[in-house]
Amino acid sequence: MKTFFAILLFVGLWSGCSVAQQPEVGYESVGVEEFKAIIAKDNVVVLDVRTEAEYAEGHVDGAINIDVLKENFRSLAIEALPKDKVIALYCRSGRRSKTAAKILVDEGYRVVELSVGWNGLKS
């Protein structure tokens, strides 16, 4: 009986720890094929969160460019992006897009981000 309670305690503590290590992020991170399917829909705005120079070197057709590294990213995004559409965003490699996604989710947007970034999309 002691063994049973010890196992039950261990499983309870272990499952509690694993849940704590996986916080709710509020956005979906997708691969290239799923991203392409999402941005083909009418209810989606594509957002490129790279620098203007990176955007000028190549981007998804029709994408809006707002650099997530700018101090006023949040206010620029709120001004430019509709809340009634899904925001599909990407950066170069997938790191900055996750930062942007968190900011936009905090502002009440529905967000999908490309996990591998522009580098993965263009290859």
Beta strands in the chain (DSSP E): 28-30, 44-48, 64-65, 86-90, 110-114
104 close to 82: Cβ distance less than 8 angstroms: no
Question: What are the backbone angles phi and psi of residue 41, rounded to the nearest 5°?
Answer: -85, 155
- For residue 36, what are its two tokens? 């392409």
Residue of 45, 46, 86, 91 marked catalytic = 91
Strand-pairing partners, residue 88, are: 46, 112
Question: Mapping DSSP to helix (H, G, I), strand (E, B) and coil, where does residue 25 land?
Answer: coil
Q: Does 91 participate in catalysis according to the annotation?
A: yes
Which residues are designated catalytic? 91
